[in-house]
């Protein structure tokens, strides 16, 4: 087997179709390539699937962020060239070899995405996706191969980690600004699974939000809504879709996809305005639960500078700068009660307004042994287990008082049926 200097990076969160993606590498490529799955806040099911593939490298970030997942994958790649792939796509014959060969000509090598369809709606969506992503040469991913040494030519980074969506659009903009050429080969084909309208609308909305964030960070030129050419361009593009793809794709593009994309863009900008009016505080809390559905609560200290002194509430606290939710919840629990969490699971996010502040509470859960109730605590007065009805009689931290009933009822409804 011929070893080639290429690492295939596949980010994955919850998509079980990754097994078909990896299988397609073995089936279509006879060369020795490095396969690296960059876990992106991945589920346990994905980790179990990956155990069935020998030789696949794994790296992981706890909180989903596609830009960070790409960067983490590139960081852990041992080879000099990268090929970015999606977990819901499979490689065509010789695609990997063709993309790698393209890097002998240019620093970036791009192939063709073929969107499969199984219904009239998915066919319409596939035609629109062709127009927006594959009918012109670009450095969107997938399938995109590039040499690691382009980093210093495109601003000193691969993917900007503050852009949660549409990160490859900002990447493509920097590639264009740097004047880098892309070797394109239409025979280097990957196949995308059929898209349903719900998926496509969600993507269009997120792409709009990603564009707004990129503009806010001054990474892309600001959209000027006062320019008449902006609206003219939309009609021109719709006419192009009509000519190239047909009537129904043109109608879908104009009335649905573009509209949803613009709504995402505008709502994200409204969110920026909202954040200026309110101080946003991110916090993490955890429900430590016994098998008989009792919840471990913490009695706060008596100091008056605390919210809800001498009241009961979840264990947790504010997220520090440069800290993700997962790191924060592990740290908070260890700091407050000296307990090392084993496998916390994200449950819900609850927003709670208090004066000019908006608290965003990210709530986790983990099942525990009853003896934990007797542990010495390092913050607060003590900890104690209560069932749902006992909690109703307690003096609770104000925000906890406002949301606990809904939170516990939701948890009990879901997990009593699931676990007990």
What confidence score (pLDDT) does residue 420 get?
47
Least confident window among 131-140, 263-272, 292-301, 317-326: 317-326
Q: How far is residue 259's CA from residue 201's CA, in Å, rounded to a whole number?
A: 10
Tokens 């639960």 — which residue? 289
User: What are 176's two structure tokens?
Assistant: 């264009």
pLDDT of res. 106: 97
Mean pLDDT in residue range 231-239: 91
Mean pLDDT, residues 403-419: 71
Angle at 120 between CA 118 and CA 125, to 5 degrees: 85
For 324-334, write each residue's pLDDT tens digit.
788 889 999 99
Whether 259 has a pLDDT exceeding 90, the answer reads yes
What is the per-residue pLDDT for 401? 79
The larger pLDDT score, comparing residue 139 to residue 234, is at 139
Given a cut of 60, whether residue 417 has pLDDT beyond it is: no
Q: Residue 399 class from Cβ within 10 Å (0-12 exposed, 13-18 middle, 19+ buried)?
A: buried
Q: What is the mean pLDDT of the chain?
A: 90
What is the rounded distance in angstroms from the CA atom of residue 18 to the CA atom of residue 28?
A: 15
What's the pLDDT tens digit per position in 375-408?
Answer: 888 988 999 999 888 988 899 888 787 777 777 7
Split at pLDDT 50, 70, 90, the class of 15 is very high
Could you tell me the pTM of the whole model?
0.71
Q: How confident is the model over 275-301, as pLDDT tens digits?
A: 666 677 888 999 999 988 899 999 988
Superfamily of structural domain 278-419: Nucleoside Triphosphate Pyrophosphohydrolase (3.90.79.10)
Best CA proximity match to 327, nearest among 369, 356, 284, 293: 284
pLDDT at 238: 94
* Residue 325 to residues 62, 333, 345, 363, Cα–Cα distance (Å): 8, 12, 11, 9
At residue 252, the pLDDT reads: 97
Higher pLDDT, 320 or 108: 108
Q: What is the pLDDT of residue 231?
A: 84
Specify the 3-state DSSP secondary structure of 360: strand
pLDDT exceeds cutoff 60 at 130? yes
Closest residue by Cα to residue 31 from 114, 110, 95: 95
384 Cβ partners below 8 Å, 6+ apart?
296, 297, 299, 373
Q: What is the pLDDT of residue 373?
A: 80
pLDDT interval class at 369 (50, 70, 90): confident
CATH match for 3-195 among 3.50.30.50, 3.20.20.210, 2.40.50.180, 3.90.550.10? 3.90.550.10
* Domain range list for the chain: 3-195, 278-419
Q: Tell me the pLDDT tens digit for each residue of 157-171.
A: 999 988 988 999 999
């Amino acid at each position: 087997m011929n070893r080639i200097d290429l690492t295939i990076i596949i980010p994955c969160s919850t998509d079980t179709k990754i097994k078909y993606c990896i299988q397609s590498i073995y089936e279509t490529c006879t060369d020795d390539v490095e396969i690296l799955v960059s876990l992106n806040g991945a589920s346990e099911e994905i980790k179990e699937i990956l155990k069935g593939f020998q030789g696949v490298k794994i790296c992981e970030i706890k909180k989903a962020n596609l830009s960070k997942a790409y960067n983490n994958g590139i960081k852990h790649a041992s080879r000099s060239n990268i090929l970015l792939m999606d977990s819901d796509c499979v490689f065509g014959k010789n695609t990997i070899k063709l993309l790698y060969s393209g890097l002998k000509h240019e620093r970036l090598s791009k192939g063709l995405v073929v969107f499969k369809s199984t219904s009239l709606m998915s066919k319409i969506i596939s035609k629109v996706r062709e127009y927006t992503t594959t009918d012109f040469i670009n450095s969107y991913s997938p399938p995109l191969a590039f040499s690691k040494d382009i980093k210093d030519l495109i601003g000193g980074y691969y993917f900007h980690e503050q852009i949660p969506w549409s990160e490859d659009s900002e990447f493509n903009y920097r590639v264009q600004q740097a004047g880098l050429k892309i070797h394109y080969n239409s025979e280097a084909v990957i196949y995308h699974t059929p898209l349903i309208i719900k998926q496509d609308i969600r993507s269009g909305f997120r792409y709009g939000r990603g564009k707004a964030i990129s503009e806010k960070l001054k990474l892309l030129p600001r959209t000027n809504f006062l320019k008449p050419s902006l609206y003219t361009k939309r009609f021109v593009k719709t006419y192009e879709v009509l000519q190239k793809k047909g009537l129904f794709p043109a109608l879908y593009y104009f009335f649905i996809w573009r509209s949803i994309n613009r709504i995402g863009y505008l709502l994200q900008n409204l969110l920026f305005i909202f954040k200026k009016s309110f101080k946003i505080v991110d916090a993490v809390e955890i429900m430590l639960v016994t098998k008989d559905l009792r919840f471990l609560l913490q009695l706060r200290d008596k100091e008056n500078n605390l919210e809800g002194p001498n009241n009961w509430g979840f264990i947790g606290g504010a997220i520090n700068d440069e800290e993700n939710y997962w790191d924060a919840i592990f740290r908070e629990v260890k700091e407050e009660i000296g307990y090392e969490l084993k496998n916390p699971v994200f449950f819900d996010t609850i927003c709670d307004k208090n004066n000019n502040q908006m608290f965003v509470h990210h709530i986790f859960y983990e099942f525990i042994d009853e003896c934990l109730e007797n542990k010495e605590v390092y913050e607060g007065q003590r900890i104690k287990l209560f069932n749902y009805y006992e909690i109703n009689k307690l003096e609770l931290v104000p925000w906890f008082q406002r949301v606990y009933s809904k939170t516990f009822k939701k948890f009990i409804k879901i997990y009593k049926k699931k676990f007990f």
